Amino acid sequence: MAVGLFAACSSEDDLEPSGYEQDLFNMENLKDGDNIDKARYQFWKETGIAVFFNDTIGTQERTDVFGKKYTHYQTLSFVQSLGMMSGDAVTELMVVNEIPREHQLEALEGLSWIRSDLLPILQSGGTKITSLYLVDELRTGSSSSYDGTTFETLFFKGLNTIALARASQFNTMSVTEKNQFKADVAKNMYVDVVMDSKYESLIEQFKAISVAVEIAGTWAHLYTPWYYYWNVARYTTVTTTQDAGFLDLDPDPQYNGMCLPASVRNDVMMYIGEIMSTTEAEFNEKWSSYSRIMQKAEIIRSILKEIGAL
């Protein structure tokens, strides 16, 4: 056995690199390229994060076990990372419209905003980011869709990349649009962690704050799909959506902007987005008149602090 082990070690020491170990997330080779390459190189040098405009990030000539040569296409992985999912657990990236070469430099002008505003959210809690995939449009299939349509999303977390939509517009977005983008990123990054069974009792408290306004004996219960906003005054002890503890109506397109949050999960997502896209002072200034919102926000804020997101 000892002889065998020695022989194995010796032959392994004599092995030469196959070339398959090439790190395609290393942007060093771009430093002497054109303006687009140099911008990608500079961002990688400063952050350690590679920026791509194409999901095929490189090719390698390889040889299979039968000695036949073939071209291997290295692509970004859109398998979702556990605990960091975008939308429903079965959400799948369906459609991607990439940014054409002539508009990529415009998109790269938004890297300063990505670095100052999005990276603190993306990297909070110690999340390691390998790369960013900048595109014009992302669409996903969702189990909540009754007709199988695809919905636009601004953010998608894959295994080795994060896809960001509307990238060519980053440099021209209004403050409101940028805050909405940040909220979308934050809620999709952290909803599964916040909804983990570890925090079940806190989420029950969160839910109970709004459920408490229901009028006993009525057929209408909050967190039911198709609970229309005009039912609030009829079936609860309050008169407005915000008085009931809801930031807004359910954002899912299938509810046509007329329904209260159809699930506790959707309600939690909205709170995560609002909390992480504003400062605490800004949040308080906007919502301090609504006691239930402030109570629910404190619960979500405590979870986000515990997981290191705040």
| Structure-block tokens of residue 223 | 């967190």
pLDDT band at 141 (very low <50, low <70, confident <90, very high): low
Q: In terms of pLDDT, which residue wins out, 153 or 191?
A: 191
- Report the alpha-carbon distance of residue 178 to residue 181 in Å, rounded: 5
Which residues does 258 contact at the CB level (< 8 Å), separation at least 6? 228, 229, 249
- For residues 236-248, average pLDDT: 96
- pLDDT tens track for 54-104: 888 877 787 888 889 888 777 887 765 434 433 334 455 667 889 999 999
% the chain with pLDDT above 70: 84
d(CA 77, CA 24): 13
Q: Residue 146: what pLDDT?
A: 38
What pLDDT, on a 0 to 100 scale, did the predictor assign at position 248? 95
Rounded to two decimals, the pTM is: 0.75
